[in-house]
Chain A
Amino acid sequence: MTTTESPVDNGVNVEALLGVRDALADTPDIAKFQWRSTVSWVNGTHSRSDVETFYGFGDEQQHHTTFSYDIDHPLQFAAQDKGVTPVEVVLVALGGCLTAGVAAVAQQRSIQLRSVRATLSAEMDLHGILGADPDIRNGFSGITVSYQIDADATAEEIRALVAQSQKRSAVYDIITNPTNVTVKVN
């Protein structure tokens, strides 16, 4: 009788992802993606964003359902608190992107994850968005992400996982590097 080592499974299909990378070498155009969302004002600072379609792999694509997000501000801002603030959505996006990356890189490196948990915090000075001090920027002055990871790996390997996840993260790149933003009124 032979015992087989149980394969590492973090629920990420790395073979499919690597297959896409190989396919891209032959047909670079299928790598061109467009992400979309719509937003409608509801009332006050409350709005609702929907995400349904995107473009990629050379064709129009669709999520299996339409995802809706309520965006608002808390009662302390004299608002109705019907949803999270937009800046919190940024933290949600960063945490989600980095954690997906941790899982994918762990799978590729044959590291079994047992639990991954991160706490994100961002510092912001309201003088900026209130226009009260021109020297203070509107956005975050800094973001801290703190991971606790339980996995079959050394502390050094876990640090390398998290570093590699940042290196390949779209949201991390979007936040750390400037991006052209064009806002039109039709």
Chain B
Amino acid sequence: MPSTTTVIVGAGHCGLAISHCLAARSIDHVVLERAEVANSWRTQRWDSLRLLTPNWMTRLPGYGYRGDDPDGYLSAREVAAMLEDYADTSAAPVLTSTTVTSVRAAGGGYLVRTDQGIWRAPTVVLASGAATVPAVPALARLVPAEITSVTPAGYRNPGDLPPGGVLVVGASASGVQLADELHRSGRAVTLAVGEHVRMPRTYRGRDILWWLDASGVLDQRYDEVDDLVRARNVPSMQLVGSPGRTVDLNALSSAGVRLAGRLAGIQDGVAQFSGSLPNVCMLADLKLGRLLNTVDAWAGAAGERFAPTVVRSTPLGLDLRSGEISTIVWATGYRPDLSWLDVPVLDRKGRVVHDGGVTACPGLYLIGMPFLRRRKSSLIDGAADDAAELTTHLAGYLDALAGRRERSAS
């Protein structure tokens, strides 16, 4: 049975970042990847998708963007190529086409079973991603059979969908981008909007992410926020990776996208929308105002303010059997797939309980979750600091283990 010091599960940007940090400390490790490096960037992204963060922000341990378009946004294919290049230059010990089937505690360490054999290691880092499986709400089963359902993971371009109107459920980054793209392709689009994070692409003449990065907003730590449960569940920002283009609800509705409240139920084939749209828009407008105030307090002087979100009369019901809607896009988020994790660190909802990525099981770590250690943990740019700190913790744990062995040997 092969053994190593650390098994990393997943060769995405987080797994590779941890690998780079472990290598810098000469900690022996292996990265197990079910397919190939950056698999989800190759297989689960629609054609037009680009990163929400500008190229200069695409930073990983020992890596920074060196191209000639620092203010542009990488396409999914470019992200995959970048991660492949990163894995090569870091000489990351990645075993591709190796699917982990279980991780169990054994003999003071862990047994990692894969379809290519079993690994033994005192430490394991779970880096298989926060967005592995589309999270489609249970009410989707009530959708009439004649309607096509797709998720952002399976969608590629408007030409894939049958002719007819589209209901996009969810108004975070994926939902607003797909509503925008489908509307531009000439379709009638209704967008069901729950709680969301309104964001302008540019503020005071710069990319909004430049301000969030420079002012320290993205560096806010998990042990500094008032309500971590809330912070870890904040939806993704309404942004698209396109210079100067804002895709907030005002932009969409003035272009002709019809807004509705959160999809709250489906009764006898009729989609029922919540009457809470005015309030979720008010919450998002106020939250954006507070964020811009924070930026202004850091930058000095006051920047522009954005017009309140306009909510006209919105539909409370939409008959899915009338033929008006042919497709529903479930842009309702993703969840991790940790069905292979056989270690008692899950809460009653199946989520890993952790303190900034450190679990209660010694030697078992988690990376790549929203607000894992910082607000930027959900961004590629967040991996570097998280990986460095978790590696420090992991190295300390290995030292303690070695010390214990020495003491018991003497």
Contacts and interface: CB of A to CB of B under 8 A. Distances in A.
Nearest to A160: B286
Nearest to B261: A176
Contact of A176 (B267, B275, B283): B275
A115 B40 CA distance: 54
Contact of B286 (A163, A172, A178): A163
Contacts of A32: none
Interface in A139-186: 156, 159-160, 163-164, 166-167, 172-173, 175-178
B275 A178 contact: no
A160 B262 CA distance: 20
B280 to A, nearest CB: 8
A163 B309 CA distance: 14
Contacts of A160: 286
B interface: dominant SS: mixed
Contacts of A28: 348
A177 B279 contact: no
A173 B7 CA distance: 46
Given A159-B286, A175-B275, A176-B261, 19 more contacts: A28-B348, A163-B279, A163-B286, A166-B276, A166-B279, A167-B280, A172-B279, A173-B276, A176-B274, A176-B275, A176-B276, A177-B262, A177-B265, A177-B272, A177-B274, A177-B275, A178-B265, A178-B267, A178-B272
Interface of A: 28, 156, 159-160, 163-164, 166-167, 172-173, 175-178
B276 A172 contact: yes
Contacts of B274: 176-177
A177 B264 contact: yes
A164 B283 CA distance: 7
Contacts of B264: 176-178
A15 B279 CA distance: 27
Contacts of A167: 195, 279-280, 283
Contacts, number: 37
Interface of B: 195, 261-262, 264-265, 267, 272, 274-276, 279-280, 282-283, 286, 289, 348
21 contacts: A156-B286, A156-B289, A159-B282, A159-B286, A160-B286, A163-B283, A163-B286, A166-B276, A167-B195, A167-B280, A167-B283, A172-B279, A173-B276, A175-B275, A176-B261, A176-B264, A176-B274, A176-B276, A177-B274, A177-B276, A178-B265
A144 B43 CA distance: 48
Nearest to B293: A156
A58 B275 CA distance: 32
A159 B279 CA distance: 10
B289 to A, nearest CB: 7
Contacts of A163: 279, 282-283, 286
Nearest to A173: B276
A28 B348 CA distance: 9
A166 B261 CA distance: 14
A176 B262 CA distance: 10
Contacts of A178: 264-265, 267, 272
Contacts of B262: 177
A164 B272 CA distance: 23
Nearest to B349: A28
A23 B286 CA distance: 31
Contacts of B279: 163, 166-167, 172
A159 B280 CA distance: 13
A177 B275 CA distance: 7
Central interface residue in B264, B265, B279, B283, by most chain A CB within 10 Å: B279
A109 to B, nearest CB: 10
Nearest to A108: B226
Contacts of B267: 178
Central interface residue in B280, B283, B289, by most chain A CB within 10 Å: B283
Contacts of B275: 175-177
Contacts of B283: 163-164, 167
A102 to B, nearest CB: 13
Nearest to B226: A108
Nearest to B264: A177
Central interface residue in A160, A164, A173, A177, by most chain B CB within 10 Å: A177
A150 B282 CA distance: 20
